[in-house]
Structure 1
Amino acid sequence: MNSTTARETILRDVLDRWKAAVDAHEPEEVAALFTEDAIFQGLHPYAVGRQGVADYYGAQPLGMTAAYRILETRQLADDLVLGYLAVDFSFTDRPVVGVNLGVLAKRLGDAWYLSHYQVSRLG
């Protein structure tokens, strides 16, 4: 499972569900895609756990949407996939915010969850 295609498939599975929940402004659904002890760093102070993720996305404006592009992937272990992404967050009333996003997807049982999420803005 070391191929780029396999790693991207794993990431797309969880990230497509993340995007759908973000676009629909469903913070609890977004949070359910994270591990219980996930480290989450958006553009505000970091949080640990699903409640912090739900609070962060619950505070985002209605109409915000996300578009992502996978830039790099690495298989760190059988149950860990690292992804580095470019993400554009679009809003109804202000310019697009482009960020870089590092995620760590972790397999728990038969499903993959985000266990680390860190946004950075360059420039």
Structure 2
Amino acid sequence: MTDDKHPETVLRDVLDRWKAGVDAHEPQRVAALFTEDAIFQGLRPYSVGRQGVAAYYDSQPPDLKADYRILETRALADDLVLGYLAVDFAFAERPALHVHLAVVVRRIAQDWLIAHYQVSRLD
């Protein structure tokens, strides 16, 4: 990677900002971390683009909190990083939701943005 960042560091930089936006229930802030043509698959039918990401997170309970653990990373190219994570989404009024998340982040200019987001439930 040409900017001398380890793939896990790149991923953590993006995902820490994602987590902060989710935890603060700021859907537009979360959506701004995605590319304009991002493929987004939460636990509902997929969407393409930031508007779908914002709508998805806007529909989530305001008390939603995310906690993630990086399981695997791969530098696919100088400007692409793949990440595979375990994510716990916690709620005040119901049990936590445990999922796995695959993301591809892409460098655009000097920023890294999420280009692909795919949640899987394994239970």
Q: In which range does the TM-score fall when normalised by the shorter chain? A: over 0.9
Partner Cα separation in structure 1 for residue 14 and residue 119 of structure 2? 17
| TM alignment of 1:19-58, pairs within 5 A | 19-58=19-58
What is the match of residue 115 of structure 1?
115
1:122 partner SS? coil
Count residues with an aligned counterpart: 121
Deviation at 1:120, TM superposition (A): 0.2
Q: Which runs of 4+ in 1 moved over 2 A?
A: none
Q: Note the alpha carbon deviations across 1:22-76, whole angstroms, 9 max, x for none.
A: 0000000000000000000000000000000000000000110000000000111
**Structure 1 vs Structure 2 CA RMSD:** 1.1
Stretches of structure 1 that go unaligned for 5 or more consecutive residues are: none
Q: Note the alpha carbon deviations across 1:60-108, whole angstroms, 9 max, x for none.
A: 0011000000000011111000000000000010000000000000000
Partner Cα separation in structure 2 for residue 47 and residue 65 of structure 1? 22
Amino acid at match of 1:63: D
Partner Cα separation in structure 2 for residue 93 and residue 48 of structure 1? 30
Amino acid at match of 2:64: M
Alignment TM-score, normalising by the size of structure 2: 0.96
Stretches of structure 2 that go unaligned for 5 or more consecutive residues are: none
1:8 partner SS? helix
